[in-house]
Every structure is written in structure tokens, then in C-alpha cells.
Amino acid sequence: MDKTGQYLEGLKSEDPAVRESATRGLWILWHAQEGIEMERELNDATQLMDSQQHDQALEMFRSLVEKCPEFAEAHNKLATLLFMMGRFEESIKECEEVLRRIPHHFGALNGMGLCLFDLRRYEEAIQTFQKALEIQPHAAINRTYIARCRGNLN
């Protein structure tokens, strides 16, 4: 079994330390996917996003996905930024790009679910959070949002 497979198995562990290590391992793999230079650019853009410099971060993330369209984590960070900017439909499209490349990307599934929730597309959000739970069965946030979605359907 390769590292990704080991980490995916680790996400299902009853041991929180194993789950945390597996989660961290997957994020490290995803960030390093396209090499050190692309990872450096990703980190620079993420710092801009984290310091609320959204326009500059948007420019950098867009440039990164143009330059390196297969870099799933660049699409994921762009999706995160678009979500933060309230641009939910665009964020969903970026999450779909991530999932086309990495179908088990729980971050993209969770992000897509949050967008669908904010768009009041509760049935789709429930399905998306359930897919995330299949990968990360101990991630309570997904259960919380499934319950919130169901509450809004009544």
C-alpha cells in the first residue's frame, strides 16, 4: 500500500493521534504535489489570503492554477478564498476541479458542502458531507452540518 492509501486508512482509525497524523500526511502530500517552487507560491498566496489580502491572493491563486492546472491544492486554496469572498458557485467549481484530480480530498468535499449549505442546496450538501464522512468518519463537523441541513429541510 502506498503512502496515500496508508493515510486514508489512518483517517478511519479509532486512535485520534493516528487520525491526526494521517490528516497531516495527506495535506503535506497535496501541498508538495507539484514540487517545491509551486508549493512556495501556494504558501505565499495562502499567507495573503490569511492576512485578508483577498484581491492579491486571488490573483496569485488564479496565476498558479493557470500555470499548473493539475495542482489540485492550488484549486483547493482558490476554492477556499472564493468561499471566504462569498463567491459560492465559483468555489464549488474549484472544488469539483480538486475532486476530479483527487477524489478523496476531504477538504474539497467539506468546502463544497459548506458552499451548498450557504446556497441553501441542503440535499446536495447532505450528500457531499456524507461523502466526506466516508473518507473521514470521525470528522464531527460533517455530522453537524448534515444535522443542520436536515433541520432546514423541515
Give me 78's grid cell. Answer: 482558490
Q: In this structure, are residues 43 and 32 in contact, taking their beta carbons and an 8 Å threshold? A: no
Q: What does the longest C-alpha to C-alpha distance in the chain come to?
A: 49
- pLDDT for 154 beyond 80: no
> Phi, psi at residue 11, to the nearest 5°?
-65, -25
C-alpha distances in angstroms, 70 versus 13, 28, 67, 119? 30, 16, 9, 28
Q: In sequence order, which ranges of the chain are alpha helices (DSSP H)?
A: 3-10, 16-32, 36-50, 54-67, 72-84, 88-101, 106-118, 122-135, 140-153
- Each residue's pLDDT tens digit, 29-53: 999 999 999 999 999 999 999 999 9
Find, among 137, 138, 136, 82, the residue nearest to 114 by Cα: 82
Note the pTM of the prediction, 2 decimals. Answer: 0.94
- Each residue's pLDDT tens digit, 39-94: 999 999 999 999 999 999 999 999 999 999 999 999 999 999 999 999 999 999 99
| Domain residue ranges in the chain | 109-154
* Identity of the amino acid at 59: E
Instruction: Give the Cα separation of 54 and 56 in Å (integer).
Output: 6
